[in-house]
Amino acid sequence: MRRILVAALSGIALFTATSSAHASCFGGDTYKTCTDNSGNSYSVQKYGNSTYVQGTNAQGESWSQQSQTYGNTTYHNGTAKDGNSWNGTTSTFGGTTVHQGTDSSGNGYYKSCNQYGCY
């Protein structure tokens, strides 16, 4: 989950980013609130195959993300801290995961990852 949140915090819909920030979370499997050591806070709600995240970065700017999973594909969309929308999908086929969509600046992205790395 932290990979998705980092993408949302930075305002991009690229789900392969990793976080060096450590988050402290309180709550259960269906709802939790988290704060990381960089000053970001967010809440995560899960309902069936859907996840909803709303957060605020250390500068007080809000962002959100919604994800729904159907089969081997997860559909993501959200609003970046600047108010711009983004969307994308993450699909897994065997040992390959494909990330593609449009970031909050309107730029398309595509990344394919497998056991050998991402391209």
Pairing verdict, β 108-114 and 41-47: unpaired
* pTM (2 d.p.): 0.75
E strand or H helix that includes residue 19:
none
Tell me the pLDDT band of 20, cut-offs 50, 70 and 90.
Answer: low
The pLDDT tens digits of the residues spanning 60-112 come to 999 999 999 999 999 999 999 999 999 999 999 999 999 999 999 999 999 99
In the chain, pLDDT over 70 holds for what percent of residues? 82
Are 108 and 101 in contact by the 8 Å Cβ rule? The answer is yes
The pLDDT tens digits of the residues spanning 36-62 come to 999 999 999 999 999 999 999 999 999
